């Protein structure tokens, strides 16, 4: 257990803003549309976010398959939809059960690989995992964006704070 103040809400609010900022830069550049690497990274970013959302909500883990998306814009809209679901979850009573144990089915892979029994993580710990995992992959996406000739956004947590913790802005997704 983390014996720290609960910063999970701030981390998840930052996640929402940072994801939207990265998507804004990706969609403004034409090159990523046909880039398999960035497409896979963007899909995986939201795949994991959705997987944990389903676990937190007590729902079956049913993730859209990569081939169900026609282009990057459709993956971006999927990411936007995730954020709406995340907001609903965070406003529910379930989000207050931070010490609730969350069974993560894929943890068994580590058990088989290492031969060591895994311990069950709490809701709070899995919220940290989602925020940290997303940060890791946004870094990879930003690196690839730069390789494709784009200018990645600055989405550090401290920058979000300095900017007065802005909300995620996905308005560019819905412009003609």
Q: Residue-wise pLDDT tens for the chain (176 aa)?
A: 445 557 899 999 999 999 999 999 999 998 888 899 999 999 999 999 999 999 999 999 999 999 999 999 999 999 999 999 999 999 999 999 999 999 999 999 999 999 999 999 999 999 999 999 999 999 999 999 999 999 999 999 999 999 999 999 999 998 87
Location of structure tokens 């169900």: 68
> Cα–Cα–Cα angle for 76, 54, 88, nearest 5°?
70
Give the residue among 87, 24, 14 at the shortest CA–CA distance from 53. Answer: 87
Give pTM, 2 decimals: 0.93
CATH number of the 8-167 domain? 1.20.120.450
pLDDT, position 4? 54
Residue the block writes with tokens 């049913």: 62
Q: What is the model's pLDDT at position 3?
A: 52
d(Cα 157, Cα 146) in Å, to the nearest integer?
A: 20
Task: Convert the pLDDT of each residue in 84-115 to its tens digit.
Answer: 999 999 999 999 999 999 999 999 999 999 99
CB 82 within 8 A of CB 50: yes
Contact in structure between 41 and 140 (CB atoms under 8 Å): yes
* pLDDT, position 1: 44
DSSP 12-57: HHHHHHHHHHHHHHHHHSSGGGG-HHHHHHHHHHHHHHHHHHHHHH
Nearest-10 Cα torsion for 71, 68, 173, 11:
-110
């Amino acid at each position: 257990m983390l014996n720290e103040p609960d910063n999970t809400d701030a981390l998840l609010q930052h996640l929402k803003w940072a994801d939207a900022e990265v998507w804004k830069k990706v969609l403004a550049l034409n090159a990523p549309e046909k880039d398999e690497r960035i497409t896979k990274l963007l899909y995986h970013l939201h795949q994991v976010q959705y997987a944990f959302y389903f676990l937190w909500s007590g729902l079956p883990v049913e993730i859209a398959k990569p081939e169900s998306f026609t282009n990057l814009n459709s993956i971006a809209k999927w990411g936007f939809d995730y954020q709406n679901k995340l907001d609903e979850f965070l406003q529910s009573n379930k989000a207050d059960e931070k010490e609730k144990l969350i069974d993560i089915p894929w943890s068994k892979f580590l058990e088989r690989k290492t031969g060591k029994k895994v311990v069950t993580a709490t809701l709070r710990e899995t919220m940290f995992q989602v925020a940290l995992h997303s940060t890791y992959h946004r870094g990879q996406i930003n690196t690839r964006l730069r390789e494709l000739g784009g200018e990645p956004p600055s989405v550090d947590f401290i920058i979000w704070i300095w900017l007065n913790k802005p909300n995620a802005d996905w308005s560019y997704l819905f412009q003609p």
